[in-house]
Amino acid sequence: MTPFEKHGQLTVSGQKLTDRNGNEVILRGVSTHGIAWHPEYVSLEAFRTLRDVWGCNCVRTAMYTHEYHGYCTDGDKKALYGLICKAVNAAAELGMYIIVDWHVLGEKDPMIYADEAVRFFAQLSRKYAACGNVLYEICNEPNGDTSWETIHRYADMVIPAIRQHAQKAVVLIGTPDWCQQIDAPLDDPVECSNIMYTLHFYADTHRDHIRRKAERALDGGLPVFVSEFNITDAYGSGPVNYEEGEKWLELINAHGLSAVCWSLSASKQSSSLIRDGCKKRSGWTVEELSDTGRWMYDNIFFQKG
């Protein structure tokens, strides 16, 4: 039975994701690197390996909006939209959950491309209105001076564009400072059902200070989703910090958080989950995982076999 056959459309109840029978669901999976960088990993076969060999029930497609042929800069909109559709169709066929990530990064403030975001999400949610396996992540990592107030206003623009078609779809909302100010929405939450706030961490850089913010957000009742993380430094490279990784693992398991790690790629960057030099586009064995990939396999993905 696939994850989607088992659970169906997810909703947010209190702080948890729950399935059609009201049972708690935890999503665990991987994020692609930017799909414009690495379109070769967006395929049915790649996702099948994630599900059947790695044990993921979820995949995230990162579509950069600003840098590297970004959707809102010099990217080929049609091709990028086509890749997203290919990914959603593949996930649907495999009964996996898929997070469509509007990868705000270089532009810092999601308001800069808010009109484009509204158009994109309206178009996509209309097409996949009946597809209960899609989650919409409306802004990867607001940063710079972007305040929670600004993100809140942005969410109030984009969520209705999605909800007019996909009424119950779960929407993930980024938080300030590269999703480290996870406690920011406490005083001013988005008044909407089926939403969660995203926390991102890179364990070698983000340590106790960010864990305390996470605990504060969770104690305050916020629904938290870890939509991107690794146990490297914040540049996605440098040493693999197992010790800090363990501390984060304890936190995410204690709270039953869903977590998606960065990234499905093979490179010298330590955050690449596949060994550098591996040319395969699917069918990666556990032996072909990088050190971080292996740690994710052992600790994060749990639907093995």
What is the contact surface with ligand IDC in residues (CB under 6 A)?
Answer: 67, 105, 140-141, 178, 200, 202, 228, 234-236, 262-263, 269, 271
Active site residue 191: no
Mapped onto helix, strand or coil, the DSSP state of residue 222 is coil
CB of 92 to ligand IDC, least distance (A): 25
Cα(15)–Cα(7) distance, integer angstroms: 17
Amino acid code (one letter) for 115: D
**Nearer Cβ to ligand IDC (126/247):** 247
**Nearer Cβ to ligand IDC (54/64):** 64
Cα(242)–Cα(49) distance, integer angstroms: 25
CB of 130 to ligand IDC, least distance (A): 30
Find out whether 240 and 206 touch, Cβ atoms under 8 Å.
no
Alpha-carbon distances of 292 from 37, 85, 229, 261, 276, rounded to whole Å = 20, 29, 11, 10, 12
Handedness of CA 303, 34, 250, 232 (dihedral sign): positive
Out of 24, 67, 116, 141, which one is annotated catalytic?
141
Cα(155)–Cα(157) distance, integer angstroms: 5
**Nearer Cβ to ligand IDC (132/176):** 176
Mapped onto helix, strand or coil, the DSSP state of residue 136 is strand
| Residue 14 token pair | 């209190």
**Nearer Cβ to ligand IDC (109/228):** 228
Out of 228, 243, 246, 288, which one is annotated catalytic?
228
CB of 171 to ligand IDC, least distance (A): 18
Active site residue 228: yes
Which active-site residues does the annotation give?
A: 141, 228
